[in-house]
Each structure stands twice: as C-alpha cells, then as structure tokens.
Chains A and B, each alone.
Chain A
Amino acid sequence: MGFLRFLQGSGKLLIRGNRAYWLWVGALLVAIAIGLAGYAKQYRVGLIATNMRDQITWAFYVGNFTFLVGVAAAAVLLVVPAYVYQWKPLKEVVVLGELLAISALTMCLLFILVDMGRPDRLLHILPIPGIGTPNWPRSLLAWDALVLNLYLAVNLVVAAHVLYKQFQGQPYNKKLFVPLVLLSIPMAVGIHTVTAFLYNGMAARPYWNASILAPRFIASAFCSGPAVLLILFQILRKTTGLEIKDEAFFKIAELMAYAMFFNLFLLGAELFKEYYSSTEHLLYTRYYWQGIGEHKALVPFAWLALGCSVASFLLFLIPATRRNWVTLNIGAVLIWAGVYIEKGMGLVVPGMTPDTLGEIYEYTPTANEWMVALGVFGVGFLVFTVLVKIAVPILQGTFSAASSGPAPGLTR
C-alpha cells in the first residue's frame, strides 16, 4: 500500500509545477523527439548517417560518453569533501550526487547504444551461458560495461533506499547505506579509470597510449562533475529552501581550483614530452593544437578549451572571485566547456587523426549526430529532473507517507 501511495504522490509531484518547470520539461521532450527522429534515420540507413568512417571509427558519441563517465564519477566523489568538512546537509549532498550519477550513467549507456553497429545484439555482452560471451578479463569494453552497470546499480539502491525510507518516516538502514556509499567512492574512481584504460591500452594510437591518461581523466572529472552540482545546489537552494551553507559552495570551488591546477599540470607534462622529444608520435598532438597543413578543424576548440580551463582556474583560485556568485557561476560554466572539449572530441578525434596508415580524414559531426546527441542529453536531463522533483520534497519532509500528499505549492 505504501508503495502505491508513493507512486501516486510522485506522479502528483511531477504534474505540479510552475511555468518555468513546464517550459523546461517541454524543451526536454522536444529534444528527445528530435533525438528519436535522428536515431530512426540512423537505424534505417546505418552509421553512414554519421561522419565516422574507417579512418575515424569513434567520434562524437564516444566523446560524449567519455565526458559523462567523468560527470558520473565526480558527482559521487563530492561525498568525500562533504564528509571531511562535515557539511550539515551531508545526506542531501550524497543523495543528489547519486541522482546526478544515475542520470549521467543513463546518458553514458545511451551514447554507447547509439554508437553500436548492431544494437540488436546487445545481449552478447551478458554473462549468461548460451546468450552472451563477455570477453573477460581481456577486453576493457567488457569491463567497462560491467563496472558502469554495477555503479549504476549501487547508486540506484542507495538513493532509492534512503528516499523511500524517509518517505515512510523510518530511519534508513545504516548497515546498508554506509558500506554502499563507501563502496561507491572507489567505484567512482574505478569507472573512470577503466574508461581511460579503454583508450590507454591501444598501442596503435600513440595519442592515447600514454600512462598519464587515467590520472588526467580523474583530474578533469574532479573539475567537471562538481561544476554541475555547484549550479544545481544554487537552483535547489533558491527554489526549495534546501539548506546549504555558502561556505560549502566556496569550498567546492576551492577544491575544483586544485583539481584544475593538477589537470593543467598533467596537460603541460604531456605537451612537454611530446614537443621536446618530437618523435613521430607528436603528429596527433600537433593536429589538435596546430593542425596539419590545411587540416585545422580542432585547433580553435583546443585553444578555446585551454582558455576556459585557465580562466576558471584563476577565478576559483582567487578568493574574491571564488566568493562572488557571478564569477563563481561563470567559472563553473567555463570549466564545463573546457572539460567537455578536452575530454570529448579533443580526446577521441586526435587519437585517430591521422589514422594508423597516416591518412588525415577531418571529422565533424553530421546534423544527424547532433540530433541523436541532443536526444540523449534530453533523456538524461529529464531523468534527473524527475528524480530531483521527487527527491527534494522527501528530503525536506514535505512528501511522506504521513502527509496526505505532496505539500501544496511545492515547485521547482
């Protein structure tokens, strides 16, 4: 009975909202519709609908996937500072971080799905005799599928347990909650490391085959993930009265400055090695930063990303700008943009340009790829919106089994 009321109440929460809420949801639904149209075409004609070819066999979809794995990882890593600095709304931070991770993972899995040539054979990855044959332990993609799904499961269990117990007015089970949250922290590092190894292990691609790759992944994830939460917490604080101290925001920003410093340091270390030794492996780095001949498609993005990263680093380093809401938010957006380019297209495309036989094929996504990506982001944001819309009233105690329904006037 309790569960039925929970579903009923959740449904009511979702259909109640102000104009901004409905505009937002409407926009997401439009994005999803566009994505479906794009995917329908791709499904009909094949991946020829993209601009990927044998020279560049991974591109925009896989780049987005990689970036979002970082977001999923870092959302949960935020638990560490929340715990260390004993923020008052620790549980809220944990749960919201996990909801973000769930949404980011949804998008990750969708980006892999739309990138597959034969999505109808998805079951071949399942470890069920007679159905699938996952290539463990040799294939990193098989590992990635495993850890991403486990991580998704852990986050789902923790978030659902905490929220549902609170809805019922019961204390959550600490014996379940604490170990799982503690487990999710190394797992967060794990999913991003495995994803880095997916690229890292390919000797055929010198741009990826550098041991600095996994540390760089983690460092940049510590920048991009919290940037999302920084903005999200402000929105929630304004619209729902969720209690989060200013000091918490400034602390996150400070930690992000350190992470960004480390990220830039690793980048510098890599650039030094490539340019100083100047072997044939420099080619890929050169393609990204300078272009090769008339092939310069990524060059403006490379410098834009660097500019964003350096600017946000300075904004978050200087206490005055870190504590100013305008510059704080500008910094968060800049970090997002910087890491999105660096870890998305800036990672995947130069890795394959020139190809293994020296050919340069300049890749830019087709309109259809943009449509499909838009749809995936639409799904992810919608999942997140729905989860937050239900979770926040529960966390605040306004939506519970005891109350006859959601409190009136609660909007996001």
Chain B
Amino acid sequence: MTAPGRSKLPVVQPGAQSRRQFLRTAAGGTAAAALGACGIEDLVRSHIHELSKEDLNRIIARLEKKYSETYGKSVTVATNAAMPGVEFGYGLDLSRCIGCRRCVYACVKENNQSRRNPQIQWIRVLEMEKERGVDLVHADPYYQAELVPRPGHFYMPVQCQQCRHPPCTKVCPVKATWSEPDGIVVIDYDWCIGCRCCTAACPYGARKFNWAEPQLPSEEMNPVTHYLGNRPRMRGVVEKCTFCIQRSRVGRYPACVEICPVGARKFGNLLDPKSEIREVMDRKRVFVFKEDLATEPRFYYFYAT
C-alpha cells in the first residue's frame, strides 16, 4: 500500500493560483455586472472564459455564500488554474485491484455526489471473468459478493479517462465542457444545458446526468470545493470525474488513489520523468481502454504482476 502524501507529487505547490490564469480571456462579460440582481445574473452571465476577473470573483463569492447557507458550514470554492508544466496521468493496476469498491464510495464522499434517488457514482467497477479477459458483454457492474475478489474473476474500475481527444467536449453545443491545460476534462455546471450529447459521445460511460435534484445531506457535504470540480451540482446538468481537481491541483492525491487498500491506483505528472505514473509506464506494459477509438486516454491500465 502506498502511503498518501503530498511529497509524492513533486510538481504542485499547494495554495490558490491566481484567478487570472483560470480565465483564458478577461475581455467582455459585462452583461452580468450591469444587471446585478442575483437570479437574473445567473441567467444572463457570460461564459466563464469571457468573464472579467471582478465578475468571476463576485460569482464565486456569491456561490460560497449560497453553499455556506445551504449546508450550514463554511464552504470554499477554489478557482486555481492548471499549474504550468503539469499534465496529470493515472495508472490502474488490474492485477492488484480486488473489486472492493472503496474507491467508488471515497469518490462519492469527496466529490459531493447525490447520495440517493438516484445515487451518482463516477467510478464503475466491472467484474470480469478471467476466462474471457476484458469483455464488456459479460462484465457485471452490479456484482454482490461476501468476499472479493471472487475466484475466477478480476475487476476493472472505469472512470473518466481524461482523453487527449475527448469525444465529449467536441459534441457540446455550448462549450460548457473542455480540456484544461493539465489534461483534466471539466464541466461548468452553470453553463451546461443538459442536452446529454456528451453522455452519448463518451465511450466510457464516465459522464453522469443529474436526472433529479441531487440529494446531499449537510453533514456529508465536503466544504472544500473547486468551481470546476466538486462544488454542489444542480438538477439537469452533467458531471464527471475530474481527478479530484480540488485536490490534485494543490498537490494531493485524488480520493480514489488515497483510499485504495492495495495500491492499485497510481497518479502523477506525465511531464515529470520521475513521477509515479512515469515510473509505471517505464517499468510496466500499459494499455488504454478502447484504443481503437483513438481517444488517447491519460488513464492507463496495466498488470504489475
């Protein structure tokens, strides 16, 4: 088991980056400022990349206030940008994974997913038959077992593969989702129109739609949030794994990496030759899921033993 520690990720320094970096352009976006009133402002504000720094700060302050009131605790909404020289990569050791689904629930807890009616999970663990290898037709995501791993089976967790050529961002009609410079594919929940083109286009079932009002009890709410990550979502929008952007951008492991009891999950900076993920790629043979679709994931599977 790998001990979780900040030192494992050499590239990132904790602390908020300037919001300016987060904004690709600072021009335009005065419509929201002109109107002022809260409800209206939500409706007519500009795309996040067109907002001025002041407008963005105002929106973030309002969100923090709203969430803090709703959940009865001090909620922060970070906007720190991708760090220069960082491109995140993920490794998953299929020979180690035991299918315990601790990652699934650590993710739900960390990322403020809806807890019930319906519960939303960003990681889906598929139970597969060893005889068949990676075969989706016979994969079972709903396995119920007293003890895992079950004989004759292996387990393949699937979550957002953070593709280099994401089919999901291409189809979005309103630019509500995009790839960040550090490779994380994000969604602006306040811009998504809920058309679900992206859920149709994703080959990995990684995108989840809020079919109903998300149910997030105050006591279970994680108050440390990022605008593009685990801040509370609303009904009618799509959400997905962001490599725990609120953690990874301040030098922490994603929750799923941290919780994994067998160390099957590896994470790090692809641009750093000494990183954990590069170590895996150098020493093991990695493969990507659905390679024929040329999505070029930043999520690598491998068999370590």
Of the residues A55, A133, A202, contact of B175 by C-beta under 8 Å: A133
User: What residue in chain A is nearest B189 (Cβ atoms)?
Assistant: A118
Q: Which residues of B contact A283 (CB under 8 A)?
A: 137
Q: Which residues of A contact B207 (CB under 8 A)?
A: 54
Q: Which residues of B contact A203 (CB under 8 A)?
A: 167, 203, 293
> In the bound complex, do residue B171 and residue A358 qualify as a contact, i.e. CB atoms below 8 Å apart?
no
> In the bound complex, do residue B195 and residue A115 qualify as a contact, i.e. CB atoms below 8 Å apart?
yes
> In the bound complex, do residue B31 and residue A118 qualify as a contact, i.e. CB atoms below 8 Å apart?
no
Q: With A283-B137, A357-B139, A357-B204 in contact, do A135 and B175 touch (Cβ < 8 Å)?
A: yes
> In the bound complex, do residue A139 and residue B192 qualify as a contact, i.e. CB atoms below 8 Å apart?
no
> In the bound complex, do residue B194 and residue A53 qualify as a contact, i.e. CB atoms below 8 Å apart?
no
Name which of B42-50, B84-92, B255-263 contacts chain A: B42-50
Interface string of A349-366 (1 = CB under 8 A from B): 000101111110000000
Q: Does residue A232 face the partner (Cβ distance < 8 Å to B)?
A: no
CA distance A395 to B201 in the complex (A): 47
- A26-75 CB contacts (< 8 Å) to partner B: 45-48, 52-55, 57-58
> In the bound complex, do residue B170 and residue A139 qualify as a contact, i.e. CB atoms below 8 Å apart?
yes
Q: Which residues of B contact A47 (CB under 8 A)?
A: 194, 209, 211-212, 236
> In the bound complex, do residue B139 and residue A358 qualify as a contact, i.e. CB atoms below 8 Å apart?
yes
User: What residue in chain A is nearest B292 (Cβ atoms)?
Assistant: A203
Max chain A Cβ within 10 angstroms of own Cβ: one of B46, B124, B174, B213: B174
Interface residues on B, range: 35 or more
B163, chain A: closest CB distance, angstroms: 11
Query: Size of chain A's interface in residues, with CB distance under 8 A?
Result: 50
Q: Which residues of A contact B208 (CB under 8 A)?
A: 54
User: What residue in chain A is nearest B141 (Cβ atoms)?
Assistant: A359
> In the bound complex, do residue A129 and residue B28 qualify as a contact, i.e. CB atoms below 8 Å apart?
yes
CA distance A202 to B199 in the complex (A): 11
Of the residues A118, A357, A358, contact of B236 by C-beta under 8 Å: A118
Name which of A119-127, A172-180, A249-257 contacts chain B: A119-127
Max chain A Cβ within 10 angstroms of own Cβ: one of B199, B202, B204, B213: B199
Q: Does residue B196 face the partner (Cβ distance < 8 Å to A)?
A: yes
Q: Which residues of B contact A129 (CB under 8 A)?
A: 28, 50
Q: Which residues of A contact B205 (CB under 8 A)?
A: 54-55, 355-357
> In the bound complex, do residue A116 and residue B201 qualify as a contact, i.e. CB atoms below 8 Å apart?
no
Max chain A Cβ within 10 angstroms of own Cβ: one of B137, B199, B200: B200
> In the bound complex, do residue B193 and residue A118 qualify as a contact, i.e. CB atoms below 8 Å apart?
yes
Q: Does residue B136 face the partner (Cβ distance < 8 Å to A)?
A: yes
Q: Does residue A230 face the partner (Cβ distance < 8 Å to B)?
A: no
User: What residue in chain A is nearest B235 (Cβ atoms)?
Assistant: A46
Of the residues A117, A130, A352, contact of B46 by C-beta under 8 Å: A130
Q: Does residue A138 face the partner (Cβ distance < 8 Å to B)?
A: yes
Interface string of B44-58 (1 = CB under 8 A from A): 101100100000000
- B209-255 CB contacts (< 8 Å) to partner A: 209-213, 235-238
CA distance A129 to B202 in the complex (A): 29
Q: Which residues of B contact A124 (CB under 8 A)?
A: 47, 174, 176, 191, 193
Q: With A57-B196, A118-B193, A141-B197 in contact, do A130 and B28 touch (Cβ < 8 Å)?
A: yes
> In the bound complex, do residue A204 and residue B193 qualify as a contact, i.e. CB atoms below 8 Å apart?
no
User: What residue in chain A is nearest B31 (Cβ atoms)?
Assistant: A130
CA distance A307 to B40 in the complex (A): 53
- A124-176 CB contacts (< 8 Å) to partner B: 124-125, 129-135, 138-142, 145
Q: Which residues of B contact A45 (CB under 8 A)?
A: 212-213
> In the bound complex, do residue A117 and residue B235 qualify as a contact, i.e. CB atoms below 8 Å apart?
yes
Q: Does residue B126 face the partner (Cβ distance < 8 Å to A)?
A: yes
Q: With A118-B237, A130-B31, A359-B141 in contact, do A202 and B200 touch (Cβ < 8 Å)?
A: yes
CA distance A79 to B158 in the complex (A): 52
Q: Which residues of A contact B50 (CB under 8 A)?
A: 129-130, 133
User: What residue in chain A is nearest B29 (Cβ atoms)?
Assistant: A130
Q: Does residue B30 face the partner (Cβ distance < 8 Å to A)?
A: yes
CA distance A310 to B293 in the complex (A): 36
Q: Does residue A190 face the partner (Cβ distance < 8 Å to B)?
A: no
Q: Which residues of B contact A280 (CB under 8 A)?
A: 137
Q: Which residues of A contact B77 (CB under 8 A)?
A: none
Q: Which residues of A contact B137 (CB under 8 A)?
A: 280, 283, 354, 358
Q: Which residues of A contact B181 (CB under 8 A)?
A: none
Of the residues A117, A130, A145, contact of B209 by C-beta under 8 Å: A117
Q: Which residues of B contact A145 (CB under 8 A)?
A: 173
Q: Does residue B172 face the partner (Cβ distance < 8 Å to A)?
A: yes
User: What residue in chain B is nearest A199 (Cβ atoms)?
Assistant: B200
Q: Which residues of A contact B210 (CB under 8 A)?
A: 46, 117
Q: Does residue A205 face the partner (Cβ distance < 8 Å to B)?
A: yes
CA distance A141 to B47 in the complex (A): 18
Q: Which residues of A contact B192 (CB under 8 A)?
A: 117-118, 121
Q: Does residue A17 face the partner (Cβ distance < 8 Å to B)?
A: no
B124, chain A: closest CB distance, angstroms: 6
CA distance A116 to B209 in the complex (A): 11
> In the bound complex, do residue B211 and residue A46 qualify as a contact, i.e. CB atoms below 8 Å apart?
yes
A147, chain B: closest CB distance, angstroms: 13
Q: With A46-B236, A57-B200, A357-B126 in contact, do A121 and B193 touch (Cβ < 8 Å)?
A: yes
| Selected A-B contacts with CB under 8 Å, 29 pairs | A45-B212, A45-B213, A46-B213, A48-B118, A52-B211, A54-B208, A58-B200, A117-B193, A117-B209, A117-B235, A118-B193, A118-B194, A120-B43, A123-B43, A124-B193, A129-B50, A130-B28, A130-B30, A130-B46, A135-B174, A139-B170, A141-B195, A141-B197, A201-B171, A280-B137, A354-B136, A357-B126, A357-B141, A358-B139
Known pairs A112-B195, A142-B173 / 6 extra A-B pairs, C-beta < 8 Å: A46-B210, A131-B31, A145-B173, A204-B200, A204-B201, A283-B137
